[in-house]
Structure formats: C-alpha cells, structure tokens
Chain A
C-alpha cells in the first residue's frame, strides 16, 4: 500500500517540527519512515493514522534535541543530525590543528632567513585576512538567504562566527604596533599559527559552501 501525497506531507511536516530540516538528510529519513509505515500498514492491516505514530515512536530517540560543546550548547538539533555534524567536524579539526602546526613550523624556518621582515609579512596577512573575511561574509549572507537548509550550511555558519572573531582580533594586533612593543618569538609563533588555522578553516568553509549549494541544486529540480 503506497502513501499518497497528503500522507507524505504529514510526515514531512512532523519532521520539520522535530527539527529535521537539513535536506541532505531529511529526504532520506522521510523515505525511510514512509517505507516503514507502508510495510507496517500491509503487515498489520492498519491505517496510516495507526502506523505512522508507531514508526515515529521507534525513531523518537534519534530526534531528541541535543547539543555539543563543539558548536556551543546554545545550538540544539536532533541527535541524528548532530552526530553527522560532529563526525564531519571532529575529523576536520584534527587535520586543521596538525596542518597549522606543520605550516607554522615551515614558515618560521623560512622566515629565519628573512631576519626582521615579519612586519612586511603582517601587511600581506592583513590583506589576506580582509579578503577572506569579506568573501566569508558574502558566503554567509548567501547561505542565510537560502530557502533550504543543509548540514554544510550549518557548519559554514558556525565557522564563520568563530573565524570572524579571530580575524578581527588578528587584524587589530597586526596593525596596532603591539608586536613591535611586545616583541617575542612566542607572540610571532602564535600570530602565524592563528593565521594558518584561519587559512585552513577558510579552505573548509569553501568546501562547505560548495557542498551546500550542490545539495540545493541537486534537490531543487526533484522537489518541484
């Protein structure tokens, strides 16, 4: 027994209310639940109104609102979506921190040949930060204006907030003369390390941005 459009819309509405809004996951969950409901209706010879709550009850623990220290306890979403975001993010964090340490060490090795040319590097870094910040802001606005949400869009927005704070702080330090007054190798290391982290985060932001719009594009045609 196949579900009609109204019954599918009912499942869709319930999922939206439960917070299952990311389309890269929602349609799969919807299809899974709908197929389970259809099977239950045939096997137990019951109506949609009886089968759907029973199936939903089984799924309920996965839709429980949860939060994580990774994204801040303020952000709550169904556990099944949160787990996906955590898995994507945790793996990336490890790569970013390791990558930034390697890049920083490499850069400092190279900069020892440049002597005291760190100030020149800071002016280049200022331009890079400003351009990256501007591009991220455009990306953020475009994602905010999207009619549909994806888990990639969520990760982009989370990173944008953190990256903007870091970039603003870095821009201040590099242009306030703080470095010349409080010159230390540890300070230089931290400035360059943060720049490398920011650079790697920006690469991931680009990946999330593209993935968000790719998901929207491949669903747009079929949703109609």
Chain B
C-alpha cells in the first residue's frame, strides 16, 4: 500500500465504506475498486486486506457468503447491521481526523 503508515489506520474504514456502497464484495474486487477510485494511487496488498477482512468478520461487523463461481469458491463480504452502524461512526471519526489534519497542514483552506 502506498504511504502505508498514513493509510494503515484507515484500511478498515475504507473496506467498510466500500461494502456499504456496493452491498457485497470479494477480496480481489475490493483491491481493484480502491485502485480504480484512487486512479492507482492507493494499492491495498493482499497481506493487509485479508487479515483486515477476517478481523472485521470476527468482530461481527461483516458477514460472509460463500458461493461456487467459475469452478472455484468465492467468499463475499457484506456489512452486518452492527457493521452499518459502525461504518457511520468510523466515517464520522475519519472525516473529523481529515478536518483536523487540514487545519494543521494547511490552515488557510480549513474552515
């Protein structure tokens, strides 16, 4: 992941936001979607993505649906009810963080 230290703390929120918008997604789809949205600037590695997905599942924020697709098993992730509520909270927290960073980095642009 580019600038990993800066993005690392937001990975779970990014995943939850994408799942909130797209319903259900599988691992590869998530990496490609992030690459597409950020025009290749942000690249989520498999080594970071899957542990994050498994952790969110263990915390009860994601649900898993497994299906046989094109001769192989595919794991789809979607937000649980708790996950939807948590996404709203985490996005609000992230927005607040961005606003504060903006005030520090570029005070003229902040409001």
> Which residues of chain B come closer than 8 Å to A90, judged between CB atoms?
none
Contact B51 A84 (CB under 8 A): yes
Chain A residue at smallest Cβ distance from B29:
A35
Contacts of A83 in B (CB 8 A): 47, 51
Look across to chain B and name the residue whose beta carbon is closest to the beta carbon of A5: B71
> How far in angstroms is the closest Cβ of chain A from B54?
7
A29 close to chain B: CB less than 8 A: yes
Question: B46 and A32: CB pair below 8 A?
Answer: yes
Contact between chains at A62 and B50 (CB < 8 Å)? no
Instruction: Report whether B66 and A30 are in contact in the complex, using a CB–CB cutoff of 8 Å.
Output: no
Instruction: List A contacts of B95 (CB < 8 A).
Output: none
Query: What is the number of contacts between chain A and chain B, taking CB atoms within 8 Å?
Result: 60
Q: Is the CB of A31 within 8 A of B66?
A: no
Residues of chain A contacted by B50 (CB below 8 angstroms) = 25, 28-29, 80, 84
Task: Kindly provide the distance from the CB of B24 to the nearest chain A CB, expressed in whole angstroms.
Answer: 14
CB neighbors of A among B28-46 (8 A): 28, 46
Q: Mark A1-41, 1 if CB is under 8 A from B, else 0.
A: 01111001000000000000000110111111011100000
Binds B, one of A101-109, A130-138, A215-223: A215-223
Interface residues, chain B, with chain A CB atoms under 8 Å away: 26-28, 46-47, 50-51, 54-55, 66-75
Please, could you name 21 A-B residue pairs with CB atoms under 8 Å apart, sorted by A?
A: A2-B71, A3-B70, A3-B71, A8-B72, A27-B72, A27-B73, A27-B74, A28-B27, A30-B73, A31-B26, A31-B72, A31-B74, A34-B70, A34-B72, A35-B28, A62-B46, A79-B47, A80-B47, A84-B50, A222-B67, A222-B73
Write the residues of chain A forming the contact surface with B, with a CB cutoff of 8 angstroms.
2-5, 8, 24-25, 27-32, 34-36, 59, 62, 79-80, 83-84, 87, 218-219, 222-223
